[in-house]
Chain A
């Protein structure tokens, strides 16, 4: 995989001019080129993961691929330390956004959401993953239908919230020009900030109440899934690197959480052992000399 990447890198370098032009095409702010045409929202998202993903993370990725038709799923990234390869990969696939799932220690999942050429990147910690497969999620929607995006008011209250809202709009909002997009609006994705974490839900919009098939038309929602919670860790100025523009003070790394738990558990043992030592020393201190009338002294 690494050698293939090198060849691809070489090719990308050779075809750099072409790649750059394509990136320019996708840049919506380039007013001079698109002024005569009608302005369109063109987004493509590259979706990939690192090595060491569990089945739940893999299913989450598949769910996102099914929900968002403008997503291109790519094979696993070899190394976690060489994140600078990602912008080039995105260039190869003509994508101007990336969703990169980084799995650590087979248990922690981090999500990088980045705008490609040199846009900002957001690193988040993913928790409480429930995939679409769960039988409690009973909703269903068209594959490739453009979903509504609903953002909480709290996104507009902080600067990092506004930036995150913008990035998510590009990534999770399906553009009209996506090839596999379907016409009707079937479902709504909600992002809410609660306890300084971002909660994601996906609901299907039903016209009629399923319990009253002949009643008046009223909108009801059924959850389709997936659902997860994102904790923003840092926002970087560049794509997968660059200066830190925001760091979340309330983020505690999962490793720290685990070690704190273990330390708590070890406290019990340590306290017990200390108490035993103290008891022993107390016993020794209180030991009295042998009495004169003790058996061993009287009877030699």
Chain B
């Protein structure tokens, strides 16, 4: 290698060729074990180096021929695999780079040659330019489509103004019938699909409401039942209390029916009206019996030796009340 470099001497190798050589030299060292081949290698390399020089010159000539207008052309070389990744590099292989051509002046020239006459009125070409560049994330579908929609909307509104300026018919009148791009049958299918969609949405909405209403309704039902039971119990309690209080009426044939009814009403109602004791119709004797000698009526014994043989029942009212109380009490007991 060093002999070679010396041999080249002043000619030398420019950076590109040197880089290539070093890359190739590195690879070939790995592969070749025989020293006998070294001479051959050097010869080949010598040849290759000179080839490269020639190639370089040829390339330059070609470039000059092609680009007579001094165009920008980046190095035109194609690469299939990266040189670092290559496992086996042929000694004669030349590293290339991907083609990237951007020939601005040529494109401008071509465009001018095909350009429409700029004096053509707008109505000939109907071109609108959107003054903003679209800058949305490509993968964000909604915003991307919104950006395109905005572009089109602006174009349409600007075009309307331009059309009125040029007296160009813009809006299609409603009585203008002509063949459309999509057939009527197709539009019917589109309409049907839209209807189906909206119907499906409505149906699912209704079902959801029903489901929730049912849950809610179940709760309401349960609450109602509970309330009913509670009020029943309440009534029973009140009646029981009333019966206990009114036991003295059994023994009292003069018991007032109205008084009992009034008492029942009071018990049932939530707000018992405060009234007087039935207009004080109770006589002096009854009063004495009831309240005299320490209030005998209530606090006296009832199931005594005498009372077991005493079959003298009280008035019909008292007995009925008691019977009612007895039966009601029994019912209340089982129900509760």
Contacts and interface: CB of A to CB of B under 8 A. Distances in A.
Interface stretch (A83-91, A145-153, A290-298): A145-153
A169 B127 contact: yes
A243 B66 contact: yes
B169 A183 contact: yes
Nearest to A147: B126
A136 B66 CA distance: 51
A108 interface: no
Interface string B55-91: 0000000000010000000000000000000000000
A143 B133 contact: no
A35 B166 CA distance: 22
Contacts of A28: 116-117
Contact of B155 (A29, A184, A190, A247): A190
B148 A199 contact: yes
A247 B97 CA distance: 14
Interface in A149-166: 149-157, 159-160, 162-163, 166
A120 B102 contact: no
B155 A142 contact: no
Interface stretch (B19-27, B105-113, B213-221, B319-327): B105-113
A153 B152 contact: no
Interface in A115-170: 115, 119-120, 132-133, 135, 138, 140-157, 159-160, 162-163, 166-167, 169-170
A11 interface: no
Contacts, number: 193
Contacts of B134: 152, 154, 192-194
Contact of A41 (B120, B153, B190): B120
A188 B152 contact: yes
Q: How big is chain A's contact interface, by range?
A: 35 or more
A204 to B, nearest CB: 9
B312 interface: no
B126 A146 contact: yes
A168 B160 CA distance: 22
A207 interface: yes
B181 A152 contact: no
A288 to B, nearest CB: 36
A218 to B, nearest CB: 10
Helix, strand, loop or mixed for chain A's interface? mixed
A176 B116 CA distance: 14
B204 interface: no
A154 B189 CA distance: 38
B129 A156 contact: yes
Contact of B194 (A138, A207, A245): A138
A224 to B, nearest CB: 7
B127 A182 contact: no
Nearest to B162: A148
Given A169-B125, A235-B107, A151 B130 contact: yes
Q: How big is chain B's contact interface, by range?
A: 35 or more
Contacts of B190: 135, 138
Given A142-B181, A184-B169, A247-B100, A149 B124 contact: no
Contacts of B176: 184
B131 to A, nearest CB: 6
Given A39-B119, A169-B125, A176-B123, A185 B163 contact: yes
B281 to A, nearest CB: 80
A246 B104 CA distance: 8
Contact of B103 (A40, A219, A245, A249): A245
Contacts of B110: 119-120, 163, 237, 245
A246 B114 CA distance: 17
Contacts of B126: 146-149, 173-174, 185
A153 B151 CA distance: 10
Closest 5 CB pairs of A and B: A150-B155, A184-B172, A159-B104, A195-B138, A41-B124
Interface of A: 28-29, 39-41, 66-67, 115, 119-120, 132-133, 135, 138, 140-157, 159-160, 162-163, 166-167, 169-170, 173-176, 182-186, 188, 190, 192-195, 199, 201, 203, 205, 207, 219, 221, 224, 235, 237, 243-247, 249
19 contacts: A135-B190, A141-B180, A142-B181, A148-B155, A148-B156, A150-B154, A150-B155, A152-B151, A153-B131, A153-B133, A156-B129, A159-B102, A188-B128, A192-B130, A201-B152, A219-B157, A221-B149, A243-B66, A247-B99
